[in-house]
Structure 1
Amino acid sequence: MPSSRPRCSAGSSSWSTAAATPTSSARIAVSIERSRPEAVAALALDAYGLSARERQIAALLLAGLSTQDIAARLYLSPHTVRDHVKTVFAKTGVRSRPALTAALRPI
């Protein structure tokens, strides 16, 4: 049986991850820990309905990469990256890179 890793809000901008794993004695071990920010950001990006490429672009934006750096890393033209950035902003309801970071980091 594979382990499960659901996440839930723990209030005050904090998220927790629960992991359940079967043990050899027919019991289930459950652990709860604070979620990693990148895991929660990935969930938020999915919730906004971003495509796989848009999630890639958003993750690189959150990592602080410039348009030129993203273009080089993904073998895209800077113009294509800017188009993806506009779409990410529209879907997440933000107007700037700092606003995107603010919208996703404190989750």
Structure 2
Amino acid sequence: MILVGGDHVVRGVTAQARAWLPELRDAGVSDWLFSPQWAAVALASETLPALDTQPGARPMVCVPAAHAGRWVALQAQPLEGGGSGDVAVVVQAATGELLLPAFAAWYGLTPRERCIVGHLQAGLAQKQIAHRLGLSRYTISDHLKAVFLKTQTCSRDELMAILCGG
């Protein structure tokens, strides 16, 4: 966790957050992101305005698993108490539902493809997905082929391993 004050000055970095920094650097992420000061300030500055329009919104950045073999998420959330404007930025492995929006955007998945991948994450078979969405199994199969092509995966298992950290 990275603690950022209301003045956007980093007040502290936990040992666990500091341990993530080399992975981000080795993954080829730009300098602003692996520097705790800039990552925290960027997320902190986005958090407060988002809360005015969408209570519960927590801005997040997901960094692809280029080197570390796992996706990394930076997520900001304001701390309660006194309106100080302090923000905690959590650095963690990004998997599952946390990762799906960033994963879909990164690979250019369509909303329908993202929906299907979400159903796959929930453990549904193609036939069940087709039934839930009112589509044929062949249409689901075509969407999955497009997802595999975009993500350079060859199977459902490989795709889920990327998304679920398996």
**TM-score, normalised on structure 1?**
0.78
**What are the equivalent positions in structure 2 for 1:1-107 lying under 5 Å apart?**
1-3=49-51, 4-9=58-63, 13=70, 15-21=72-78, 24-32=82-90, 34=92, 37=95, 38-106=97-165
Q: What is the Cα-based RMSD across aligned positions, in Å?
A: 2.6
How far does residue 93 in structure 1 lie from its aligned partner after superposition?
0.8
Displacement after TM superposition at 1:67 (Å) = 1.1
| Mapped contact 1:16–1:34 kept (Cα < 8 A) | yes
Distance (Å, rounded) in 2 between the aligned partners of 1:48 and 1:8:
13
In 2, Cα distance between the equivalents of 1:90 and 1:14? Answer: 20
Deviations 1:46-93 (A, max 9, x none): 200000000011111222211110001111111111111111111111
For the Cα contact (< 8 Å) 1:41–1:104, is it kept in 2?
Answer: yes
Per-residue CA distance 1:2-47 (angstroms, 9 max, x = gap): 24422355x5636343324276434323242535622113311220
More helix by share: 2
Alpha-carbon separation, structure 2, partners of 1:12 and 1:47: 16
- Structure number with higher relative contact order (C-alpha < 8 Å, ≥ 6 residues apart): 1
**Aligned pairs, number:** 106
Shifted more, 13-22 versus 49-58: the winner is: 13-22
Moved over 3 A (4+): 22-26, 33-36
Q: Is the 8 A contact 2:70 2:93 kept in 1?
A: no
Kept in 2, the 8 Å contact 1:71–1:77? The answer is yes
Structure 2: segments with no counterpart, 5+ residues: 1-48, 52-57
Provide the secondary structure at the position in 1 that maps to 2:87. strand
Q: Percent identity?
A: 31
8 Å CA contact 1:71, 1:81 repeated in 2: yes
TM-score by length of 2: 0.53
